[in-house]
């Protein structure tokens, strides 16, 4: 079957370092969907392969494609302490024979030592990343400036650094990875004989959300795409995503592909803030595991699945309610949240979480 990405003429002009196991499958999640009242499918981007995978592998294919084109030998990135992007950047850099520096920002208050040392942090150390700390968590420009300072010092030592910026004022090259993912989804719909009524995805930096939306629209797909806020409230996230949409659409020569009204964001499961759990998210994580054997993370996909359930409950999807959930990975962070998750499972019997008749009988 022809690759739909070929329908976007300029797309293959961008340098790409192939890092992921793609295309990722689309799996059905019948039991979890039945509990929500939808026909649920999951795009398994937690299975992109590189060091526990996740959506950032797709982003990195384009960032590091550009880095290779510039003959860089060291990559720098900034992110939260339990950043999935930092972890996959470390692995990607090692795959390509590059050195890597990671700056970890203090975004989540009142965390324990397990959070600071387990999960993605442990993997960064295993991968041999040079670690830096940054005490501020809500100033993207300051974090980027500090990263550029580290890069300047490395350049003085004779290295050739490539910086992956966090802030909005830098080109969203990574979003191209989700234009390609959109083409995968279009091809898989054709192969499976499906047409989704809605797509649900996390919306943090905005690049996965924006790239997916641009790709679908550029390929003639009108399906609504719901971005679930995990980094900031909807009033702040929507203009960010819209800007990224415009920039990515310009990059691929499709400036009119997306209308302003196509950008949908929702933040009902965001509180109490980035990296902080709430009861809906805890229940979504437990239900996905106990009904489907599907592991969600506390920061991104757990909140997105909780929001999908809320949207279904309010009748937002309508129609035949065939919903595609884009699983963006992040499972290593589960281990960083051990204390919170352990307390929840201690207090919540299996039958109360999953609604499983089998689980109730087992007790």
339 assigned to active site? no
Report whether 24 contacts 184 (CB < 8 A).
Answer: yes
Report whether 258 contacts 219 (CB < 8 A).
Answer: no
Q: How far apart are CA 77 and CA 350, in angstroms?
A: 40
Q: Which token pair is 233?
A: 């409230």
Q: In the beta sheet, which residues pair with residue 251? A: none
| Residue 231: alpha-carbon gap to chain centroid | 11
Q: CB 133: neighbour CB atoms within 10 A?
A: 11
Angle, alpha carbons 190-194-200 (nearest 5°): 110
| Residue 126: alpha-carbon gap to chain centroid | 22
Q: How far apart are CA 317 and CA 325, in angstroms?
A: 13
Q: How far apart are CA 128 and CA 114, in angstroms?
A: 20
**Catalytic site residue from 13, 28, 83, 354:** 83
List active site positions: 83
């Amino acid at each position: 079957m022809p690759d739909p990405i070929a329908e976007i003429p300029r797309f293959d002009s961008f340098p790409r370092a192939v890092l992921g196991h793609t295309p990722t499958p689309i799996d059905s999640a019948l039991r979890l969907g039945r509990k929500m009242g939808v026909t649920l499918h999951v795009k398994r981007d937690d299975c992109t392969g590189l060091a526990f995978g996740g959506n950032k592998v797709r982003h990195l294919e384009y960032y590091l494609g550009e880095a290779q084109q510039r003959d860089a030998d060291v990559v720098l990135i900034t992110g939260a302490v339990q950043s999935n992007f930092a972890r996959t950047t470390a692995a990607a850099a090692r795959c390509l024979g590059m050195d890597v520096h990671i700056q970890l920002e203090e975004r989540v208050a009142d965390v324990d030592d397990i959070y600071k040392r387990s999960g993605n942090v442990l993997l960064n150390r295993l991968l041999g990343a040079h670690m830096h700390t940054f005490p501020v968590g809500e100033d993207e420009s300051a974090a980027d400036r500090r990263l550029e300072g580290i890069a300047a010092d490395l350049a003085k030592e004779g290295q050739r650094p490539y910086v992956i910026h966090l802030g909005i004022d830098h080109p969203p090259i990574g979003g191209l990875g989700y234009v390609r993912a959109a083409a995968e989804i279009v091809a898989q719909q054709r192969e499976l004989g499906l047409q989704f009524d809605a797509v649900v995805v996390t919306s943090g930096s905005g690049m996965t959300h924006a790239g997916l939306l641009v790709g679908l629209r550029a390929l003639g797909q009108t399906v609504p795409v719901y971005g679930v806020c995990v980094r900031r409230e909807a009033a702040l996230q929507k203009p960010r995503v819209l800007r990224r949409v415009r920039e990515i659409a310009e990059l691929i020569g499709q400036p009119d592909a997306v209308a302003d009204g196509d950008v949908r964001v929702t933040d009902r499961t965001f509180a109490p803030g980035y990296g902080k759990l709430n009861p809906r998210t805890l229940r979504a994580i437990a239900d996905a595991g106990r009904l489907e054997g599907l592991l969600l993370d506390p920061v991104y996909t757990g909140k997105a699945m909780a929001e999908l359930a809320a949207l279904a409950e309010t009748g937002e999807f309508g129609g035949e309610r065939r919903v595609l959930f884009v699983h963006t990975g992040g499972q290593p962070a589960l281990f960083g949240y051990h204390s919170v998750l352990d307390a929840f499972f201690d207090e919540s019997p299996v039958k109360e979480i999953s609604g499983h008749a089998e689980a109730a009988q087992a007790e």
